[in-house]
Every structure is written in C-alpha cells, then in structure tokens.
Structure 1
Amino acid sequence: MTGVSMQALELEEEKARATAWFRALRDEILAAFEAIEERHESGPLSDRAPGRFERSQTLRDSDDGTDAGGGCMSVMRGGRVFEKVGVNVSAVYGKLGQRAQAAMAARGVPGMEKDPRFWASGISLVAHMQNPHAPAVHMNTRMFWTPNAWWFGGGADLNPCIEYAEDTSHFHAVLAAACDPHDANYYTRFKSWADEYFFVPHRGRARGVGGIFFDDLNTGDWQADFAFARDVGRAFLPAFLPIVERRLKHPWDTADRETQLIHRGLYAEYNLVYDRGTKFGLETGHDANAVLMSLPPLAKWL
C-alpha cells in the first residue's frame, strides 16, 4: 500500500479500539449510576428527584491553534445517592509542552527529549457520595502513545471517610480477581504501587484504603495489555456498586457529615498537589473544568 505502512495502519486501529472502549465503558457506568439513583426510593434523600448526568464537550488548547482533540465530561450533581460524580472520556494529541516533555523524559520515555509528539485517550471517574457511610471512589484507565513508545495505565482506589473492613475487602478482592488471570504478580505489585502513589506526604497518611495503580505498562504485547486495561475497567462496577447498595440507606448525623467534609479536604489536597493526571491535564492545555472534575463539591479543613 503506497505511502502508508502496515505498522501505521495497525497503530491507528489500536488507537480507535482503545478510544471506543473507553467511551463504551463510560456509557455503561453512566447507565448504572443513573439506575441506582432511580432505585433509591426509601432512606436518606430518597424524596428528591433522581440525579441525571449532564454532558458537555471539552477541548484541548494547542499553542498554534491546530486541532488538539478533546472529549466529553459527564457530571451528576445533587442526586439521591451521588452528591457529585464525574466521568470524563477524552482523546487528545499534539505536542507536549516543555515541562510535560521533561517529566516524560525523566520517567524514561525513549526519544521524548527529541520528539514531543503524543496521543492519549482514556476514561477518568471520581464519585463523591451523599451518605458519609458510602465511600468516595476513583477509577481511570488510559492509553498513551509517543513516536517511540506506547503504554497503558490506570487503576482504582476507595476513599471512605468512615471505614468498613468488609467494604475494603470486597473492593480489593474484585480488583485482585481482575488482575490474576493476566499475571499472578499484578495485584500485589499494583496494590503496592497504589499504596505508594495515593499517599499524602505532608499528612503522613494515605488518602483512602487503596486499590491498584499501574502506569507505563508495555509488555510488548499490545493486545494483552489492552485486555488487562479493559478488565480493570470492567471490574469497577462489581467492585463499587455492592458497597454503595450496602451503605446508601445507612442513617447519618451532623458528626458524620463533618467527618466526611474534613476527609474530602484531604482528597482535594492530594489531587491538587500530587496527582499526576491533574498536573498533566493542566500543563497540556486540557479543559480545566474537566481536569478538576475530581474535586469534591464541598470540603472542610480544621
């Protein structure tokens, strides 16, 4: 085929498959969250209208005014179950700025110091709950490409302000079951990475009860690594929804709400100071509202 290599065609197909998967997972999650809003017909806040997602398109700014991609931000606010939940999907591309380029080079991305071109697509979710006994949660998976490398990254972690051991055990068990068919060491390895990554140094503690985190995953087998990223995404609803169902009718008082708001302050501190995705999104010109979607609607500090 003149002018187009088979390798280039395969790359474009891989990008399209990854982008389509992230969007399909988004649709599945939005439907599941709206359904649980509908089902919550008794208990705290069940007298209000069920929450619905509002969708808006997002764009990435480029330095030269050329098309740089974008995505869709889906946010539900003030629901029966979810106080605020955002689910973003995006596919962005162009050239990295100097700071992002230097950060990639420091991580060992080959050729990044000479060629700043990139492409990235993924899904990112953060949910902050109405009931203080129901935990906040984060999940994301993504594919990243540069001219000399590609990789997958992502994970999920649970962030309760009031901890329940059975909730933590369930969440981790589902994630372990998603990891084990791919590599017997993945869960242990990626759990340890999450414990390190989701740590707030200036507070001397983790932001939650952990989960898994992985990045720069390239075994040399794109199909296998993509399958793993899909299974991490598929594990999210089975890991999280049973916990929500268990906690959403639990009564709470003003002391519980105070505990929740103070814990959200910790979450906000982490996302603004340390989170790699927040830094990358802001430094590469993506829509600031989409990047900061993860922040809670209300928080408190002592």
Structure 2
Amino acid sequence: MEMQDQRQQAAVWFRELRDRIVAAFEGLEDRGPGTSSPGRFEARETRRGEGGGGGLMSVMRGGRVFEKVGVNWSAVHGELSLPAQQAMAARGVPGIEDDPRFWASGISLVAHMQNPHAPAVHMNTRMFWTPGAWWFGGGADLNPCLEYAEDTAHFHGRLRAACAAHGADYYDRFKAWADEYFFVPHRGRARGVGGIFYDDLNSGDWQADFAFTKAVGEAFLPAFLPLAEKRMGQSWGEAEKDAQLIHRGLYAEYNLVYDRGTKFGLATGHDPEAVLMSLPPLAKWV
C-alpha cells in the first residue's frame, strides 16, 4: 500500500507541475511581441493503446513566442513487451524477465520558439515502477541554434543550484550524463548546450529521490523563462531563421533515432501523437 500511495503522490505532483508550466507559458504569450492573438494550449486526453492509463497532451502552435510547444502528462500501467523487458533486464532491473508489470508517470516538455535567438528547450521528470524496483529519471537541456554564453550560464546555474541541495556530486554527475546522452553520434556533435540528465535513480530513500526530482521540475521555469522573455523580441532575419530550421533537423534526428522516451512510448503502445509531440513544426536539411 505504501508504494501505491507514493505512486499516487508522484502522479499528482507531475500533473500539478504540468498545470503551472502551461499557465506560465500562456502568461508569456500574453506579454509576447506582435499584435496577433496570444497562443493558447489545446489539450486532449490520451489513452494507452493496450493496457491501462493515459494522460493529457497539451500543445500550443503558432503563438507570439512559441512556434510549437508541448507539455504532456501521463500515468500508465500494464505489461511490458518482450523487447522492453529484455532492454530493462540488460539495464539490471531485477525480476523484470519474470514479471512484466509496470507503472510509470511523468511530465515531458519540448518548446520550439518563433524567434531564432530564443533557445528551444526540453524537460522531463518521471517515476517508473516494476514489481522488483522503482526509480526516478529526468532532466532538462537547452537547445539554442544561436548560442549566447550568458544564457547557457544562467540555465546551468539554476540546475546546479537545484542539484546542490540534494547531492554534492549530483550536478557534475548528471551534467556529464547529459553531455553523453544528448550527443548525436552520426553527426559527431551535441544536440545543444546540455543541462542535466539522470535515470535509474534509486538511493533506497524514496522521499529523498522524489524531493530531488521535484527540485529539478521546480528549477525549470526560473531557468528557462527569463531567457525566452529576453530573446522573444530580438530582431532576426532570413539567415537566423535558416540556422534555426537546420538545427531543428538535428533535434528531430536525435529524437527519432536515439531518444529513450520516444522508443519506450512507441514500444508500449502510448498515443503516438503524444510521443512525437517533441518534433518541430518545421525543419530543414542541407
């Protein structure tokens, strides 16, 4: 019963974080440049194809600030496919080959901006449970097509502060993990300027690990909103837009080829529109 209550706590918190981010992004739209109507999220419920649970997919398109942004929440359960079981067994998840049941909840966010000077961004936090184990994962990373050193420093500074209160080595460990994870091997380069990434976090203290995961989620808006607000009215031309579209092509390649969340969502029968909401509205390859 204790773990059932903990799973409920986690799912409720992820949903509350989703609600706060949606409200903050719509508030930024209200302050955005131009005279067009501010963008608003369109939300619809999602269902897992086989098994149980679902979520809420919220997407805004064509706003003053955001060209496309998705903020998804989900809580799903059921049985893993054989390939998913085998992948988790290879990661050392105990008992997963004998009992395929699972439960997972989390929030996933990707924002693609109108202004090429404003960075794209990704954030997610999640909890995963199987009969033999539980763990947390997530992180956030910044993906500018036109990098500003001060923006990168601000973003990383907020994440460093979130980590520092929970583990002296967390920021260094999880920054290095992000640098490794968000690397595009076939291009030989990073997807963006990094952030933090962690997975399989189980210290044995559920409350401590949940507190850290909440800290990561709470750090997101202070890390990202000031950058979006600072850059959203900056002038740009055709060359800057071209650079943005080419960088979006790199982002799309990574998400379709390497991203764990994309692979897991499609393999477990979740709504493909929700899984693929991370893809940019427009991209370019040269």
The partner residue of 1:27 within 19, 23, 26 is 19
Say whether residues 1:277 and 2:261 are aligned partners. yes
Q: Tell me what 2:44 maps to.
A: 56
Q: Tell me what 1:226 maps to.
A: 210
Give the Cα separation in 2 of the matches to 1:30 and 1:277: 21
3-state secondary structure, aligned to 1:272? helix
3-state secondary structure, aligned to 1:132? coil
Say whether residues 1:14 and 2:6 are aligned partners. yes
Q: Tell me what 1:190 maps to.
A: 174
Question: How is 1:147-166 mapped onto 2 (pairs within 5 angstroms)?
Answer: 147-166=131-150
Give the Cα separation in 1 of the matches to 2:112 and 2:155: 17
Aligned-residue offset at 1:143:
0.2
Give the Cα separation in 2 of the matches to 1:49 and 1:284: 38
The partner residue of 1:123 within 88, 101, 107 is 107
Question: How is 1:60-209 mapped onto 2 (pairs within 5 angstroms)?
Answer: 60-62=48-50, 67-209=51-193
Write the deviation string for residues 253-298 of structure 1: whole angstroms up to 9, x where unpaired. Answer: 0110000000000000000000000000000000000000000000
The partner residue of 2:199 within 185, 190, 215 is 215
Give the Cα separation in 2 of the matches to 1:114 and 1:204: 39
Over the aligned positions, Cα root-mean-square deviation in angstroms equals: 0.6
Write the deviation string for residues 86-126 of structure 1: whole angstroms up to 9, x where unpaired. Answer: 00000000000011111111111001111111000000000
Stretches of structure 1 that go unaligned for 5 or more consecutive residues are: 1-8
Q: Tell me what 1:256 maps to.
A: 240
The partner residue of 1:39 within 31, 36, 41 is 31
Aligned-residue offset at 1:39:
1.1
Stretches of structure 2 that go unaligned for 5 or more consecutive residues are: none
Aligned-residue offset at 1:47:
1.7
Q: Tell me what 1:267 maps to.
A: 251
3-state secondary structure, aligned to 2:208? helix
Q: Tell me what 1:6 maps to.
A: none
3-state secondary structure, aligned to 1:157? strand
Give the Cα separation in 1 of the matches to 2:229 and 2:272: 32
Aligned-residue offset at 1:202:
0.1
Where has structure 1 moved over 4 Å in runs of 4 or more? none
Q: How many residue pairs get matched?
A: 286
Aligned-residue offset at 1:245:
1.1
